[in-house]
Amino acid sequence: MEKKWCYFWYRIGLFFIPIIISAIFIILVWLGLEQSMFVIIGLLLLSYFISPFGREVLIPVAIISFMGLHGTSQMVLDIALVVIIVVFVDVMCSIFLLWNLDLLKYLPVFGKWIEGIERFGHQKLKNSRKKQQNIFLAITGYVALPFQGSGGIMSTIIGMLTGMTKQRVWLAVWIGSFIGSLTMAILSFSMGQVMIDIFGSTAWYFLGLFLLVSIVIYIILRYRNNRLNSPNKE
């Protein structure tokens, strides 16, 4: 009985700790910035978390807003703030999923598929260092790309389904988010509106979704074909 209660509070902690850390972070940002800057940063944080637009659109919007506020006089600070916010959201979403995604395995049918795909990925990667490196680089590159769904949430799910360890998935999200966010923030000072026009277009949005869906379908089909061809089916 005592072990069950310990596990219960352990699960509660895994669920709420990322949320509490995020709340503390937002409060610190609010206390550390003047109101006009916090409005821009706050909208970036909120929009990146709940809006259909990714950092490929929101970063140029934030940078243009900062330029309208004080030009390029605080360019380094503006870039740092935008990158910190975006990377923080990606990393915390990734941590939350890495700690809690296994709860989905308790769902009927769907949970069994998740567990099976993840186990299949582990089997394919555990004896091949080259495959592990290639998958790590692929996930890192995918996170860095300016596509819909390439943020911390879907990248973490894809990483887990491919069989990567939690530590490698988190590191891939961290590095990819930093590289992608920093690149877009720097480019936004010279071509922000162009980036908004391109990455905010419907065609680019659906291209990102198509890429995401294709990756997920590919992983599922590989697992399904392996089950069909395996003499020992689950």
Q: Look at residue 67 and tell me if it is in a domain.
A: yes
Is residue 154 in some structural domain? yes
Q: What is the pLDDT of residue 197?
A: 87
Position 137 confidence tier, pLDDT thresholds 50, 70, 90: very high
Identify the pLDDT of residue 121: 73
Dihedral sign of CA atoms 177, 178, 180, 186 in order: positive
Structure tokens at 145: 């790309």
41 belongs to a structural domain: yes
Most trustworthy range by pLDDT among 10-19, 80-89, 192-201:
80-89
Residue 150 lies in a domain: yes
Instruction: Give domain status of residue 23, yes or no.
Output: yes
pLDDT of residue 234: 46
Rounded to 5 degrees, what are φ and ψ at 97? -70, -40
Q: Which of 93-102, 110-119, 129-138 has the lowest mean pLDDT?
A: 110-119
pLDDT, one tens digit per residue, over 166-179 is 899 999 999 999 99
Q: What percent of the chain has pLDDT over 90?
A: 30
DSSP string, 162-227: TT--HHHHHHHHHHHHHHHHHHHHHHHHHHHHHHHHHHTSHHHHHHHHHHHHHHHHHHHHHHHHHH
Residue 156's alpha-carbon distances to 31, 205, 214, in angstroms, are: 31, 20, 16
Q: What angle do CA 51, 52, 57 make, to 5 degrees?
A: 90
* CA separation, residue 133 to residues 2, 95, 117, 127, 130 (Å): 41, 21, 19, 12, 5
80 domain-assigned: yes
Asked whether residue 159 is assigned to any structural domain, the reply reads yes
Average pLDDT over residues 139-162: 85
Cβ neighbours of 6 (radius 10 Å): 10
122's enclosing H/E stretch is: helix 110-125
* The two three-digit tokens of residue 185, written as one number: 């923030």
Name the residue type at position 81: L
CA 43 to CA 161: how far, in whole Å? 32
Let me know: does 144 contact 183? Beta carbons within 8 Å: yes
- Lowest-confidence pick of 28-42, 59-73, 106-120, 184-198: 106-120
Range of the domain at 220: 2-229
How much is the pTM? Answer: 0.87
**pLDDT tens for each residue of 54-74:** 888 899 999 999 998 888 788
Q: How many domains does the structure of the chain reveal?
A: 1
Contact 85, 59 (CB under 8 A): no
Q: Does residue 234 belong to any structural domain of this protein? A: no
Question: Distance (Å, rounded) from C-alpha 234 to C-alpha 230?
Answer: 9
